[in-house]
Structure 1
């Protein structure tokens, strides 16, 4: 008497991959694709380097403008801190009375600091600035009034104008002068620079997408038969897309590293003449450099642009590839 064969031993269970096994397999495949994509780029060093150099050139200009604007913002902050008002006192006021007026001005809301310049000190500065000491010494009296230099707590132009109006009402103050035209022009230039930098960043970012997209498109065409075969045996678009996305990320990262190197070399090359030019005007200025935060932003953006350009190119061409 024969017994029907059992498909599996009694009590045996069918084992399916657990979540941990699937996760390890997914991570292993990503690691393999990342390494394989990097090796493919190294097999064609000249072509890969030219693509990365094109990406670097597209990134250098907006990054350089961003650094320039960053240093301009620091200079703007220093100039705002140096913005002052000059309150001219009535002519003939004694030094003791001028000191009391200075105390009254310092007590006003919105005043961060004051400095009294007596009539004698003002005349001495005037003589030194014009070099007319002998001619001014012939004057019978000192025609210059005492003045108080006021440093506002808020450098905003509207706040400074309001403070000037308040200071003019203090007894003993004849006139309050302020020159905010240069500060407003500087702010308008800074706003214009920010918009120009943003526009150039967007345009050159699109250029990076085009460079990477065209390179990945050629790679997809070169591996068209391989893609058709793996698609026939059930590979998903995500599986097929993965190595090309890593190639795009490698291109972006390499371009970002080259851009970082070009910015660093350019800063070192120009730092000496720029410092000498600033010193000739009695100022101290140094070209800005990419710090850790700026370097991270540059490399992150370049890698993301490379990945995005590859993703757009692969999705577009995978839709056109049909297994035969």
Structure 2
């Protein structure tokens, strides 16, 4: 038998051995995942309570994040509705007002313009106040023509710079803008985001503690079994594997319960929130989790469960010595 033939047979034997080890590794993972799920189902009440505790810890930061996402969409809508009002001088007639409006629309920082004549302004003012008869008795119309324009860049600094440029245009008497309420809304949104991140970190730590304590009790209950398998040569990875799957199952179950609670809560609050927004003349709805949000919630909950189990098992395996 040649050396080349022997080398090929040795290579095939090594590949077969490696393939057998890989299949055995996958079979053991599948067996441990199923065995962990069966152990949880043998104690449905305790498992459900643990998952419910995880779900409650996840609902508050996830719900706050959804509310902030809705506020972000509302902020974008308000940015699109941000406008400047350019009041023209009283001496400007209708023809010149049209030319000024065209000149303003041609400027690079202006996205949209709308000319409001003095008569149209008075009519809107009368409708807003409900004093049509009283204002109709005025001898002259005191309101000037105006141009309402929407800036291309809604950032406060850019809008203020644009207002300064428009104030220098011939025929313009005053430029009126009010961005204070937009600034307050953005500051509140930023505060909410930071509070949401802080709550997510705190409640994530709570999930780790819940899962870690549950897995710690499971390790103590199987202490003799762990000592026996360690005595016959089992590695820490082998011993740790079923507990990691238990933690992942706890996390996944808690994530599913949190998803259900968030869905029910959104449906329950949808009508009052829509009615409140309608009373202010706006349309606002709580955003749904969606496919990406649901996958993120379930992935984070499963990962937190797995991590909590890994921390608890690793800490206790270091203390267990076969006798």
Tell me what 2:167 maps to: 168
Cα offsets for 1:237-267 (capped at 9, x unmatched): 0000000000000000000000001111111
Task: Please show how residues 297-308 of structure 1 align to structure 2 within 5 Å.
Answer: 297-308=296-307
**CA shift at 1:158, angstroms?**
0.3
Counterpart secondary structure, 1:214: helix
Cα offsets for 1:245-291 (capped at 9, x unmatched): 00000000000000001111111122222223333333322222211
| Count of matched residue pairs | 313
Tell me what 1:3 maps to: none
Tell me what 1:67 maps to: 66
**CA shift at 1:87, angstroms?**
0.5
2:70–2:287 Cα contact (<8 Å) kept: yes
Counterpart secondary structure, 1:246: helix
Tell me what 1:200 maps to: 199
Tell me what 1:57 maps to: 56
**CA shift at 1:128, angstroms?**
1.1
Name the stretch that deviates more: 208-217 or 91-100.
Answer: 91-100
**Which structure has more helix as a fraction of its residues?**
2
Cα offsets for 1:73-103 (capped at 9, x unmatched): 0000000000000110001211000000001
1:33–1:243 Cα contact (<8 Å) kept: yes
2:74–2:284 Cα contact (<8 Å) kept: no
CA RMSD of aligned residues (A): 1.4
Tell me what 1:92 maps to: 91
Q: Mind listing any 5+ residue stretches in structure 2 that lack a counterpart?
A: 1-5
Tell me what 1:219 maps to: 218
**CA shift at 1:201, angstroms?**
0.1
1:85–1:176 Cα contact (<8 Å) kept: yes
Name the stretch that deviates more: 20-29 or 283-292.
Answer: 283-292
Q: Distance in 2 between matches of 1:40 and 1:264?
A: 29
Cα offsets for 1:44-67 (capped at 9, x unmatched): 000000000000000000000010
Counterpart secondary structure, 2:144: coil
Cα offsets for 1:96-154 (capped at 9, x unmatched): 00000001111112100100000110111111111222222222211111000010000
Tell me what 1:152 maps to: 151
Counterpart secondary structure, 1:86: strand
Q: Mind listing any 5+ residue stretches in structure 1 that lack a counterpart?
A: 1-10
Tell me what 2:3 maps to: none
Counterpart secondary structure, 2:175: strand
Name the stretch that deviates more: 112-121 or 122-131.
Answer: 122-131
Counterpart secondary structure, 2:67: helix
**CA shift at 1:223, angstroms?**
0.4
2:215–2:313 Cα contact (<8 Å) kept: yes
Counterpart secondary structure, 2:112: strand
Q: Does 1:250 align with 2:255?
A: no
1:114–1:148 Cα contact (<8 Å) kept: yes
Q: Distance in 1 between matches of 2:264 and 2:93?
A: 60
Q: Normalised by the size of structure 1, how large is the TM-score?
A: 0.94
Tell me what 1:43 maps to: 42
Q: Normalised by the size of structure 2, how large is the TM-score?
A: 0.94
Cα offsets for 1:193-245 (capped at 9, x unmatched): 00000000000000000000000000000000000000010000000000000
Counterpart secondary structure, 1:18: helix
Q: Distance in 1 between matches of 2:132 and 2:46?
A: 72
Q: Distance in 1 between matches of 2:239 and 2:145?
A: 81
